[in-house]
Chain A
Amino acid sequence: MLVIHCPYCGPRPELEFRHCGQAHIARPLDPSAQTADEWGEYLYLRENPKGMHAERWRHMHGCGRFFNALRDTTTDFFVTTYKCGEPRPAVSGTAPAGGQR
């Protein structure tokens, strides 16, 4: 069970959260103008990286807020979590041993 640092509430056990998939996929402002390929990509295509992953979580059984996280999918350690709307932090390499402090 992971420990996840909610940007609003602090560290909490994973059971309080819900994983919500890849982060930074904005809904097109005018979906009807999207080509089939563009719309298909928005709906379904995902990075699924082996390594640093920007992903969404929701503190479902806490503050209820959505937020983003950078997590290394090869270790499951978080580098950081950040609020929706904030840009993806620039992080290179892998998550530190022991994870986010």
Chain B
Amino acid sequence: MSQNTCRTAAGGRIDRSRLVNFTFDGKAFTGHVGDTLASALLANGVHLVGRSFKYHRPRGLLAAGVEEPNALVAVVRDTARRTPNLRATQVELYEGLVAESQNRWPSLQFDVGAVNDLLSPLFPAGFYYKTFMWPRKAWHQVFEPVVREAAGLGKPPTEPDPDTYAQRFAHCDVLVVGAGPAGIAAALAASAKGASVLLCDEQPEFGGSLLDEPNAQVNDHPAAEWLKASLATLRGRANVTLLSRTTCFGYFAHNMLSLNERLTEHQATPMTGVPRERLWQVRAKEVVLATGAIERPLVFPGNDRPGVMLASAARTFLNRYGVKVGSRVVLVAGCDAAYLAAFELRAAGVKIERIADIRPAPGEAVHAAALSAGIAVSTGVTVLGTFGWLRVTGITLAHLADDGSVQDRETLDCDAVLMSGGYTPTVHLFSQSRGKLRFDEAQQVFVPGNSVERERSAGACCGTDGLRATLEEGSQAGTSAAEAAGKAGSAEGYHVQLLEGSMVGTPGVLPQPGNIPPSKAFVDFQNDVTSKDLALAMREGFESVEHIKRYTTNGMATDQGKTSNMNSLGFVSAEKGVALPKAGLTTFRMPYTPITFGIFAGYDRGDLFDPVRPTPTHAWAVANGAVFEDVGLWKRSRYFPRAGENMHAAVDRECLAVRNSVGLFDASTLGKIEVVGPDAATFLNRLYVNNFNTLAEGKCRYGILTREDGFVYDDGVIARLAEDRFHVTTTTGGAPRVLHMMEDYLQTEWPDLQVWLTSTTEQWSVIAVQGPKAREVIAPLVNGLDVSNAALPHMSMVRGMLGDIPMLLMRVSFTGELGYEINVPAGHGQRAWEMVWAAGLAYGMTPYGTETMHVLRAEKGYVIVGQETDGTVTPDDAGLGWAVAKSKPDFVGKRSLARPALVAKGRKQLVGLLTAEPKTVLEEGAQIAAVPEQPVPMKLIGHVTSSYHSAVLGRSIALALVADGRALMGQTVYIPMPGGAIAAQVVAPVFYDTEGAKLHV
């Protein structure tokens, strides 16, 4: 077992009394409760944690937080719970944690891919656009697989993820993002007078930068005490919600923000019954962004060796985790704030070999403090390079004279290099909100400018320097947010004692002698983008920063440019000789950090992916072996196979039962709309192609609806219940859109009509009893109601009772047989069904599903909207021209039906097809040609819309749309199939009982 050789004797926020065992690449280590994987590895002296994307260079930890580009690991709980690409700085240590490094073979220490580093002159930015082009197919067949295998980072999970994810919506007066000093002060001020406040922070512990400030005093108390007391205050307020381990990653229109809460990932044994992560969608009246700032690396040759890291990271590792990142440290400073790292490490017993300040004139306070601590400081230096492979061993510093010559070159031995180029305000969320960024000349950074949403920023994320200013700005922001939300706030003043340094630096690349740096100076560590790559892109004419980004991939790695974007901009602006804001800024995109897919799906999986709409007889159908099909959200019985039957056999049997005796079908999914009011008939007349003035009470009519474009939109039977009341049925899928269309015309075009529309789809259960014995089945059940052909002829309806259940009985048929559709209140649906079923047993009644329904109606040539029609078919095309009331002055679609293309010759018309070989069942969707053998592209004249084996006819039948089809009756057409053309004769689209006698028995 390794020792925590790099741990301080005391201090930090870890629990030194509790050891935690973990493995990294199979090797066992220990850390403490409160460690991250990164801090625990460093405590064990492990700096080498990863390999870079392209050159496979050894990489260590650059940062201590969310911005870490190098230390990407896979954490493996079990075979299904493998999570790649996690930042070691954000992986909380737990007992038994198993972590693996990535993108290396055979091992992290010895990675064959590192040969790429030597060959790198062959792989400049964008090299893949310039080669791999010959021979033509070689890209896809040879080169691309190699490139793909080399690219990618971690290995993806390959088994279904067994974890669950949750979602939650929330509303609040004020959402505060970030629980550092500004955010906590904002939350205190905003919540003091009752405004509801939600405060979130991505880290496990609230406090932000205060956790790295052991020496600060706030309001005369150590910062840690102030923090503890403030959090206790917030916790004590019922109007405050605190969410740790919660990243606000998206800012959407109208103050909708999205949060990712991680609930179990830090637990050794995740609590059962608790989701792994949760998505919060928060609608905030007002928002305070207190998202802090991220330190920039300096760009110099060899700035990526393990042991070279941000000064702020060294402070975090020391102050939070009690870890010394080296024993002999050189600090390369580009801002005053960086000096604190040297001071604190020195106090912890680390030798500071040098503070090398790249500026000619450091801030006086920190400079003096360094000198008085006995730390050597060089000013105005640049870094010519570093030494070491798996760990940095030295650094070469120099001064560059005005003529570019190197002076005072010296090499220092060290085992860690800290660097700081100043801080970049974290403006991601502000930018996502579409607020306009403003370039602050003095600080050389972008800060929030004018807001677009109802938000304000506070603290380091708007470039504010210094703890006191940060706290007070936060407090004021909290107050103004509460007030803007219509509540009161309570701004406070703060006083602070702390040696501080400014966070202001200059983005860009450190100057080097000559044009070509001797070795690679990395701008984007993870994507291996060097200053040379940026220069190359510019040389090749890519001037827009968006182009440079895309050509070099700078800023496109999993850290999305958190440490690289500003340095890239600084370099580009310097090269172009323009002010930095003129160089442009790439867009900040959702999400702030990578977010697990699972939270977006939440519980929307399996049967909860979409609601399931079962019909009232669903349980009966399940019990009777139905095979279901999805139609929209509905589950419809497709067929009821008996033991040993396939679909074909079952459908044949069901069809014959209906034709010869009686069948039972659940038609409840049909859309139903009650149209009521004195103008109901007028309304339907204007909407449907048919005439409804002439429909008598108690009668039914087949109606067709077109849209204004003249194409068939929906159909259904419409019954007139009373002078002012119609029962309109629609297709199963069409119900919502037909009602929407009706409401549209009623509310916006004809508001003068007195009509009310009600969806009654869910209110009625519809039981179709179809077949020559249908009357015999239902007659005993209807309490003496006269259901004879004379009293209740085809296309009529009557109210009555089915046993003790009120019903609307419609004599309609979609099978061509004597048929009734019994409408009963949905709550009685299953009982009514069972009543009819019991009565039908004596007649061999057979339940049938949609497949049999389709065959039976096709035998009669009844169309199905969506199968015979496809949004390009007019009523006349579908053979339904008879239904169009041409005498009506207007109806929806009438004008369009007169358009030239809709009346032209050659339109496809519905016909029947009989194959020459009766056993051959055409494939639905098969194309139709006038001549059998044709070269490609063929001239086609139509397609098969429906095709079945008809049991009653003992042969195949098909419906088809064929150009000028009605003029081709009796002629032969051909269906070209891979095995040769199939001949079929064009016939009228009615195959069974052509005169319709069976309907009227």
Q: Write out the residue numbers on chain A whose beta carbons fall within 8 Å of the beta carbon of B254.
A: 1-3, 76-77, 99
Known contacts A27-B749, A85-B751: does B895 contact A58 (CB below 8 Å)? no
Q: How far is the CB of A57 from chain B (nearest CB, A)?
A: 12
Q: Which of B400-408, B449-457, B522-530, B667-675 contacts A (4 or more CB under 8 A)?
A: B449-457
Q: Is the CB of A32 within 8 A of B894?
A: yes
Known contacts A3-B254, A43-B709: does B453 contact A31 (CB below 8 Å)? no
Q: Is the CB of B747 within 8 A of A97?
A: no
Q: Is the CB of A97 within 8 A of B890?
A: no
Q: Is the CB of A76 within 8 A of B253?
A: yes
Sorting the interface of chain B by its residue count into under 10, 10 to 19, 20 to 34 or 35 or more gives 20 to 34
Q: Is the CB of B749 within 8 A of A65?
A: no
Q: Is the CB of B252 within 8 A of A58?
A: no
Q: Is the CB of B748 within 8 A of A56?
A: yes
Q: Write out the residue numbers on chain A whose beta carbons fall within 8 Å of the beta carbon of B747.
A: 65-66, 84
Q: How far is the CB of A89 from chain B (nearest CB, A)?
A: 18
**A4-50 at interface with B (beta carbon < 8 Å):** 13, 18, 20, 26-27, 30-32, 34, 36, 39, 42-43
Judged by a CB distance under 8 angstroms, whether B743 is at the interface is yes
Judged by a CB distance under 8 angstroms, whether A62 is at the interface is no
Q: Is the CB of B452 within 8 A of A97?
A: yes
Docked complex Cα distance between A39 and B898 (Å): 11
Partner among B253, B450, B740, B900 whose Cβ is within 8 Å of the Cβ of A18: B740
Closest B residue to A97 using CB positions: B452
Judged by a CB distance under 8 angstroms, whether A87 is at the interface is no
Q: How far is the CB of B507 from chain A (nearest CB, A)?
A: 29
Judged by a CB distance under 8 angstroms, whether B256 is at the interface is yes
Closest B residue to A36 using CB positions: B899
Judged by a CB distance under 8 angstroms, whether A98 is at the interface is yes
Q: Write out the residue numbers on chain B whose beta carbons fall within 8 Å of the beta carbon of A32.
A: 889-890, 894-895, 898
Closest B residue to A66 using CB positions: B747
Q: Write out the residue numbers on chain B whose beta carbons fall within 8 Å of the beta carbon of A34.
A: 895
Known contacts A2-B253, A84-B751, A98-B454: does B895 contact A31 (CB below 8 Å)? yes
Docked complex Cα distance between A85 and B452 (Å): 31
Q: Is the CB of A39 within 8 A of B744?
A: no
Q: Write out the residue numbers on chain B whose beta carbons fall within 8 Å of the beta carbon of A97.
A: 450-454
Closest A residue to B708 using CB positions: A43
Judged by a CB distance under 8 angstroms, whether B434 is at the interface is yes
Docked complex Cα distance between A13 and B170 (Å): 12
Docked complex Cα distance between A58 and B746 (Å): 13
Q: Is the CB of B744 within 8 A of A20?
A: yes
Docked complex Cα distance between A60 and B740 (Å): 8
Closest B residue to A74 using CB positions: B434
* Binary interface encoding of chain B residues 458-470 relative to chain A, with 1 for a CB under 8 A from any of its CBs, else 0: 0000000000000
Q: Write out the residue numbers on chain A whose beta carbons fall within 8 Å of the beta carbon of B497.
A: none
Q: Write out the residue numbers on chain B whose beta carbons fall within 8 Å of the beta carbon of A3.
A: 254, 283
**B882-915 at interface with A (beta carbon < 8 Å):** 889-890, 894-896, 898-900
Q: Write out the residue numbers on chain A whose beta carbons fall within 8 Å of the beta carbon of B895.
A: 31-32, 34, 39
Q: How far is the CB of A47 from chain B (nearest CB, A)?
A: 17
Pairs A–B under 8 Å by Cβ, sample size 20: A1-B252, A1-B256, A2-B254, A26-B749, A31-B890, A32-B890, A32-B898, A39-B899, A43-B708, A43-B709, A64-B743, A66-B748, A75-B452, A76-B253, A77-B254, A84-B751, A97-B451, A97-B453, A98-B452, A99-B254
Task: For the complex of A and B, list the 6 residue pairs with the smallest distance between their C-beta atoms, beginning with the closest.
Answer: A31-B895, A98-B454, A3-B254, A66-B747, A76-B253, A27-B749
Q: Give 11 new A-B contacts, CB below 8 A, not counting A1-B252, A75-B434, A97-B454.
A: A2-B253, A18-B740, A32-B889, A39-B895, A39-B899, A43-B709, A77-B254, A84-B747, A85-B751, A97-B450, A98-B451
